[in-house]
Amino acid sequence: MRKDFLINGIIENYERLKKESPLIQQITNFVSIHEQANITLAAGARPIMADCPVEFDDIIAQADALLLNIGTINDKRRDAILQANETARKYKVPVVLDPVGVGASSYVRELALELLESGNISIVKGNAGEIFSLVGIQLSEGVSGVDYVGEDIMELPAEELKKLPEFSRKYGLVTVITGEKDLLIDSENQLLCSNGVPLLAGITGSGCMAGSLLASYLAICADPLLAALTGISILCISAELAAREASGPGSFRILLHDRLASLEADEIRERLKFEFIELA
């Protein structure tokens, strides 16, 4: 029942985004900014990628959601990101945080924690290395760079797993861990999504694009867990369809945009693969 409710919600969100076409303000890194603007358009929302603080008051007042992606950070961008977060609070614009590279650098980690402490983040999304670094879960191996693919999360000890819903509760947000499977965690529910293909890890910015989609669906959906589930599922189903036609990572990332722009409700319904799980 609950699952049917979510399935219908995903399909409604997919269609509503194209109709309502919300404005999504995105501060992001220079590597994937172009792909993120394009995937936002493909999904039906309108991207705006302003990163100058003097513009924030004008732009965030009009925005329907804010994405803060802290990859390729520096002092100036750090200040801009903090100010954008405060401006979003002022205008009650919901915020998604993508803590890119938080596992590889203490500078980035401190910024991410400061943003979480603001209490203003609705969804935080990262790979296992990034989220574990924020939550304080120890890994057997060191985490290097942005492409870490975690061990099977469910094999972690129960006392470590318990930290994840506690983290979501503490900061009042939905935590999304992306990987071969994707894990969505709020203080009460945990969902495991099994859509997706290995090629998603073979292109840069697939995680960043997920962030753009989370912000897009959060703009039109008051329930952050359903918004997150929609963004992850729509990206991964589109990737499955793109991978069938692609001859490698280049054509895959192009077809990903094509398929994401033109999913059918039945196609989504048939392909959706997620389940409720108990983390601890």
Stretch that binds a copy of itself, among 137-145, 156-164, 175-183, 216-224 (CB under 8 A): 137-145
Nearer to a copy of itself, 42 or 229 (CB): 42
Q: What string marks each residue from 31 to 50 as x (binds a copy of itself by CB under 8 A) or -? A: xxxxx-xx--xx---xxxxx
Q: Are 13 and 221 in contact (CB under 8 A)?
A: yes
Interacting residue with a copy of itself among 104, 137, 213, 239 (CB under 8 A):
104
**Would you mind telling me the total number of residues written for the chain in this entry?**
280
Query: Rounded to an integer, what distance in angstroms lies between the CA atom of residue 180 and that of residue 105?
Result: 24
Phi-psi region of 150 (alpha: psi -120 to 50; beta: other; left: phi over 0): beta
The least CB distance from residue 18 to a copy of itself, in Å, is 11
Complex with a copy of itself: residue 50 or 280, whichever CB lies closer = 50
Question: Which positions from 229 to 258 touch a copy of itself by CB under 8 A, shown as an x/- string?
Answer: -----------------xxxxxx-xxxxxx
Which of the ranges 5-13, 103-111, 119-127, 169-177 carries the binding residues for a copy of itself, by CB under 8 A? 103-111
Burial of 59 (0-12, 13-18, 19+ CB in 10 A): middle
For residue 264, give both structure tokens.
């059918």
Residue type, 109: R
For Cα atoms 166, 172, 176, give the angle at the middle one, nearest 5 degrees.
Answer: 70
Of residues 41 and 227, the one with the C-beta less far from a copy of itself: 41
Q: Which one of residues 4, 19, 145, 158 is an interface residue with a copy of itself (CB under 8 A)?
A: 145
What is the largest distance, in Å, between two alpha-carbon atoms of the chain? 48
**Rounded least distance, CB 189 to a copy of itself, Å:** 33
Q: Which of 7, 12, 59, 267 binds a copy of itself (CB under 8 A)?
A: 59
Q: Which residue has the tokens 């280049």?
A: 250
x-marked contacts with a copy of itself along 185-224 as a string, rule CB under 8 A:
-----------------xxxx-------------------
Using CB under 8 A as the binding rule, whether residue 106 contacts a copy of itself is answered as yes
Question: DSSP secondary structure string, 24-70?
Answer: EEEE--TTTHHHHHHHHHHHT-EEE----HHHHHHHHTT-SEEEEE-
Give the total of residues touching a copy of itself (CB under 8 A). Answer: 61
Q: Is 262 an interacting residue with respect to a copy of itself (CB under 8 A)? A: yes
Query: Least distance (Å) from a copy of itself to the CB of residue 121?
Result: 22
Q: Which is it for strands 46-48 and 23-27: parallel, antiparallel or unpaired?
A: parallel
Q: Is the dihedral of CA 59, 60, 63, 66 positive or negative?
A: positive
Residues that bind a copy of itself (CB under 8 A): 23, 29-35, 37-38, 41-42, 46-52, 54-55, 58-59, 62, 71-76, 101, 104-108, 142, 144-147, 202-205, 246-251, 253-262
